[in-house]
Amino acid sequence: MKTKLILSLFLLGTIILSTAQSTKFSAPTINKDVVFLEQNNVIAVEAEHFYKQTKTNIREWYRTSQNEFPSVGKDVDKPHWQGASNDTYLEILPDERTTNKDLLKKGDNFSNIPGKIGVLHYKIKFNKPGRYYVWARALSTGSEDNGLHVGVDNTWPNHGKRMQWCHDRGKWIWASKQRTKEVHCGVPKQIYLDIATAGVHDVQFSMREDGFEFDKFLLTTNSDFVPTDKGPKPYKSNSGTAHTTTKLKNTNTRQVNNTTKAKEVKKKKSPTLGNTGKPSVNTNYFKNISNRSPENHSISAIKFPVYGTQFYKNGKNWLAIDPDKSKEAKTTTTFNFASGVYDIVFVGVGENDGQSMFKILVNNTVVSTFKTTLSEKMFEEGIKFNTLIESINIKRGDEITVVANVGTNDGVEYTRGRWAGIIFVPEGEGQLYTK
């Protein structure tokens, strides 16, 4: 009974956590007054810079970037923020229909009717009335995540229906093609909006297939224009000449990180704190990637025992070593999850003083020895600082040990062997978290 209660509380906590996280990644990051402008006959906009989204009860758009991994139901493909414009994109989730073997549910995982599910809104200033061709940059990993609709001012004209992507799966590509009965891969120059009056209009995109990944779009009166690479830079109304990419990039999460990191720099340099200075870093990176799949299990570094080890708690999320006191530290905890074969993802922290070295043991058997990648910043989290240990058989009750050694570039300044934790992911999925 008690176990059941604890389990229910845990599940409730997990639901609240993931709901909070989901809300954050689906909330707009720009003000509703921001208007995107034409520049050199093109209006370019990052998909993630919608000012609101509506019709979200069945499916919703979520941001993915280096530090933002939504975890909302089925989503089988890995993050694709690398190569996306502004290093960020939107995906409409959950992606219940991944292949044509999954049941097609109209009005649920598919909508041939535009404007019904997951509507993104953008304010666009048109300098003159006319026909504007619409291009969008998308990444498709299958045949059931490559359709989208575009409309304007709550109307969904025929030539905005069924935008289609077919080629170059797994790559970010620009397309402006309309799927027809005859041509499933789409006909060029048939996706456009006819804008009746100059001025600000609400340009909207809505879901056709779930799991669609949307990076950026552009509108142009030039029917021969073909965007390349990440496309033209966006321009917005209230910043004169400045383009949006850097200014709008900072989501709440990143701002928090930047501020706290700046604080840490000060603290580390402060002579009064010396080497025992404990910077406060409030990053959710570990939590975010741990929550990517409900099948994952994770143990954050700070849940490992510290007392009697040479580790200390570094801020809210990390364990670290004071290199003046010790060059090595070791801690052990128990694996309390279902027995099975797992991929182990070790979430390290890159440091610029050198490469910390780690050893992972399961019941005193070393399963991996590795170094964390050198970072450019004083310290940094992200996919390139994670390490994958594939296909490890672990039983409930096994002991998991982490041994860390500080590293050094110059023999003077040492790293602190910082790490954030370990994620146990289903076998075969570990590579989604590492590089």
Q: Which is nearer to Ca ion, 123 or 208 (CB)?
A: 208
Q: Are strands 163-164 and 147-152 parallel, antiparallel or unpaired?
A: antiparallel
Instruction: Give dist(CA 72, CA 293) in Å, integer.
Output: 8
Minimum distance between the CB of residue 117 and Ca ion, rounded to whole angstroms? 12
Amino acid code (one letter) for 291: N
CB of 421 to Ca ion, least distance (A): 22
Distance of closest approach, residue 175 Cβ to Ca ion, in angstroms: 15
Q: How far is the CB of 131 from Ca ion (least distance, A)?
A: 25
Residues that bind Ca ion (CB under 5 A): 46, 75, 77, 84-86, 88-89, 91, 95, 97, 144-145, 209-211, 213, 215-216
Smallest distance, Ca ion to C-beta of residue 113, A: 16
Burial 332-370 (b: 16+ CB within 10 A, else e): eeebebeeeebbbbbbbbbbebbbbbbbbbbeeeebbeb
Contact call for residues 148 and 212 (beta carbons, < 8 A):
yes
Specify the residue, 82 or 334, whose C-beta has the smaller distance to Ca ion: 82
User: What is the smallest separation between the CB atom of 213 and Ca ion, expressed in angstroms?
Assistant: 5
Supply the minimum distance, in Å, between the C-beta of residue 150 and Ca ion. Answer: 16
Q: Is 409 exposed, middle or buried (0-12, 13-18, 19+ CB in 10 A)?
A: middle
Compare residues 206 and 415 and give the one whose CB is closer to Ca ion: 206
C-beta of 215 vs 353, nearer to Ca ion: 215
- Alpha-helical runs (H) found in 104-160: none
Nearer to Ca ion, 92 or 193 (CB): 92
In the beta sheet, which residues pair with residue 389?
344
Shortest separation between residue 202's beta carbon and Ca ion, angstroms: 20
Which two three-digit tokens encode residue 227? Answer: 């965007």
H or E element that contains 23: helix 2-26
Return the SS3 of 103.
coil
C-alpha distance from residue 54 to each of 48, 64, 118, 391 (Å): 14, 19, 6, 42
User: What is the C-alpha to C-alpha distance for residues 433 and 435, in angstroms, rounded to an integer?
Assistant: 7
Nearer to Ca ion, 343 or 351 (CB): 343
Q: Which residue is nearest to Ca ion (CB)?
A: 211
Q: Which is nearer to Ca ion, 249 or 261 (CB)?
A: 249
The two tokens of residue 261 are 């990191």
Nearest Cα residue to 428 out of 345, 334, 349 = 345
Least Å from the CB of residue 26 to Ca ion: 14
Cβ closer to Ca ion: 142 or 157? 142
C-beta closer to Ca ion: residue 84 or 367: 84
Cβ neighbors of 91 (< 8 A, separation 6 or more) are 61, 62, 64, 70, 75, 211, 212, 213, 214
